Structures are given as structure tokens and as C-alpha cells.
Structure 1
Amino acid sequence: MGMGYYYPYIDPTYILVIAGALLCMLASANVNRTFQRYSRVGTMGHITGREVAERILYQAGITDVRIERISGNLTDHYDPRNKVVRLSDSVYDATSVAAVGVAAHECGHVIQHHKGYVPIKIRTAIVPIVNIGSKLSWPVILLGIILSSFQMIQIGIILFAFTFVFQIVTLPVEFDASHRALRILESNGTLYEEEWRGARKVLRAAAMTYVSAAVSTLLQLLRLVLLFGRRSNDD
């Protein structure tokens, strides 16, 4: 009972992988294009990304989180373990609408942790499982093919599914962080109306990268189920 039946590169379900990859490429291109566009639009207040982050954290009563520069482009993130907001070169000292929006978004994550936002607690809790699943899923599936073990293939698919679950949990976390950021920027008067709209476009484009990643992973998961589910039925 061999598994020579499986040749993913000629199987018609491979179109699902291609569709997912194209979707991610389009989302990535869109966020880069939108970020570059609003990186050229300065704010009337000439406030930098670092200053915006400092202002937001101060207003939220958060005093134990540092703000640091990190190299790269769109590498901004919040590190809850070390309590550091890391802003990229294109955000840290920049006074653009894009920089202000991104800095505020990362502070949105800080506030989520500070207030115990449930989805971010769930995401943090499942990270170890997801890391194991992402590393082992494909080796287990391939080993199952070699050994003609459908049970092992099923285990590999389940491990792969953890990645999709993580991405689904990530969606409300990212959308909520952007919502918090935009609400803060509007309420404290950091941006004028047109500037605020530009920041919203930047954050919406960034959010779509998470949506496209989730859809892409779902399509890959669907392909695995179609391929190996069909094989199980044939057996």
C-alpha cells in the first residue's frame, strides 16, 4: 500500500496553495504601497512615532514599558515579555502620518496586555503549542506518506491546523489594537481629520495582511484534507 499517489506539484488542489500565496503577495504589496504613500505625508504637529508612543503610554498610566528603535522596515512590534515597544527606523523618528499610525497601533497592544484583553491572553497561551505544531506538522505528514501511515498524516494535519487557529485568534487582537489606536489619536487630537483618515488606511492595509495569511493557511489546510481524505476513502 504505497503512497506514490501523492504528487502535490501536479495535483489540481495545488491551485489552492497558489491562490493563497497570491493573496498574501497582494496584501503585502498593498500595505507597503499604502505605508510608503503616507510616509511622505507629514503631520501638522510634527510629532514623531516615538513621541506619540510616549504620549499614549503616559495617558494610559503605563510607566513600565520602554520604547526602543529597531532596524528594518515595518518591523515594529510590542515585546510583552521584556515590556518593550520596538519601532522601526521608518517610524521611530519619523513625523509622517504612517509613522504615527503604526506607533499608536503598537501601543494598542501594550494597552491590551495592561487591561487583560482576553483574545491576547488566549493567543499568548497557545503560542507554545503553535510553535511545536508549525515545526512538526510537515515532517510528520511526510513521514506518514513514507510509512504509508494515514494516522500519522492525520496527526500532521492536526498540528498544521494549530497555525490556522492561532491566526484566527490573532485577527481580533490586531483589529482591536488598530481600533484602540485610532480612537486614541482622534480623542487626544494628535492628528487632524485628514491625517487621521490616512492613518486609518495604513492600519487597515496592515490588518488585511493578517486576514490574507489566515485565508492562505485555511486553503492549505483544505488542500491537505482533500488530498488525504480522498486517499483514506480510496483505501
Structure 2
Amino acid sequence: MHGNLKAGCFNHIIQLYLRKTYSKYLRVGTSSSLTGAQAARKVLDENGLYNVTVEEVRGHLSDHYDPRAKAVRLSSDNYHGTSIASISVALHEVGHNLQDRYNYAPLRFRHALVPVANIGSNFSFILIFLGVILSSANLLLLGIVAMAAAVLFQVVTLPVEFNASSRALDIMVGSGLIRNDKEHGARKVLNAAALTYVAATVVALAELLRFVPMFTGMQNDED
């Protein structure tokens, strides 16, 4: 329980750091003066990805790439914004599209894990709850395995997110969307965003490990 609280606290700190960093660089402009949507469209076209759409979506930092619809979706601040933060987030999502196009192995593996991870997320706590209520080590173990599948998905997500950020930074600097003196700010935004996935993985892993001693103790009681 203590470890789980520490993980939750770590996650909260990272979320605060992301909001602070994003807000700071949302007020810092770029040399290109392009909006996030225009920058995304420019890079997509330069890579021959004319079929990929750039769309505005509701929500704060709700930006994502939809591989099924082949769409880069940007929240309003980043779709219309001309800041370092807006360009960084927009090109991070374009980075996912480039991963998709060039069959980046961790992304393919993550896509393959989606059905298993969904099952794990939906049924793990039900199985764990039943295992505890019925004092069944087997049900508890099934729940732990299901939860482990969801945690594995989050672990595989880490290299996917860091790689997309790395691609975004290389593109921004290489194409002149930001000057070298603005690279530090873009790196901070991208790193802060990536750290949120690290924090989420730490929380999920701590939650998983919380049930392992419970299973061991239950199994010993059955013996």
C-alpha cells in the first residue's frame, strides 16, 4: 500500500510538471510562425503522406494519432497555436504517423497487444475481487495475469512515445520550424509529455505488485 501511494504521488508530481512546462512554452513563439496544424500538414506532405488528415478535437492535451482513420488529431490550443508547445505536440503525433508508415516494431507490437490489454483492463479487478472474496488463489492469479497484460501494454508504450518525441525534435530542428535556441524548450515539452507515460507505468506496476504477496499468502494458506 505504501509503495502504491508513492507511485501515485510520483504520478501527480509528473502531471503538475507537464502542465507547468506546457503552459510556459505555450506562450513562447517559434521562428516559423506556423500553427500546430500547419506544421503537421507541412511535415506530412513532405513525407508524401497526403492521405493523412489533420483534425481539431475537443479537450485539453487530447492530442493523438488514430492509425485506423489515418488522422492526426490536435486539441484546439495546439491546432491553432503557433507556440513551441503547440508545434512540439503536433509533431509528436506526426511522429506516430511516421512510425506507422515505416512499420516501427514497438508500435506494431503495441497494436498487437491492444485486444489482450483491453481484456486485462476490463476483467483484472473483477477476477481479483472474486479471488479475494472467495479466497480462491486461482482466481486471484488469473486477475494478476490479466493485469500484467495491461501493464505490459504500458511498458511497450514507453519506447513508442520516446521515439515519437525524438522524431519530432529532429524534424523541428532539421526543417527549420524552430531555431537552435528554441530547441531546449521543445525538448522540455516533449520530455515532460513522455514522462507522463513513465509515471502511468510506475503506478500500474505498483498496483500489480500489490497483489502478488496477497496471492502468495493465499496459496500458502491453501497448502
TM-score tier, shorter chain, comes to over 0.9
TM-score w.r.t. length of structure 1: 0.92
The equivalent residue for 1:9 is none
Deviation at 1:228, TM superposition (A): 2.1
Is 1:188 matched with 2:175? Answer: yes
Distance 1:219 1:165 in 2: 13
Structure 2's unaligned 5+ residue stretches are none
Assess if the C-alpha contact under 8 Å between 2:72 and 2:94 holds in 1.
yes
The equivalent residue for 1:229 is 216
Deviation at 1:231, TM superposition (A): 2.9
Match among 80, 83, 86 for residue 70 of structure 2: 83
The percent identity for this pair of structures is: 43
Q: Which amino acid aligns with 1:111?
A: L
Q: Which amino acid aligns with 2:209?
A: L
The equivalent residue for 1:7 is none
Is 1:147 matched with 2:134? Answer: yes
Is 1:215 matched with 2:202? Answer: yes
The equivalent residue for 1:169 is 156
Over aligned residues, Cα RMSD in angstroms?
Answer: 1.0
The equivalent residue for 1:134 is 121
Helix, strand or coil at the partner of 2:204: helix
Match among 178, 181, 184 for residue 165 of structure 2: 178
Helix, strand or coil at the partner of 1:42: coil
Q: Which amino acid aligns with 2:11?
A: C
After the TM superposition, which residues 1-235 of structure 1 pair with which residues of structure 2 at under 5 Å, given as runs? 14-235=1-222
Deviation sequence 1:7-45 (CA, Å, 0-9, x none): xxxxxxx11221111111111111111000000111122
Distance 1:180 1:163 in 2: 26
Distance 1:61 1:30 in 2: 36
Structure 1's unaligned 5+ residue stretches are 1-13
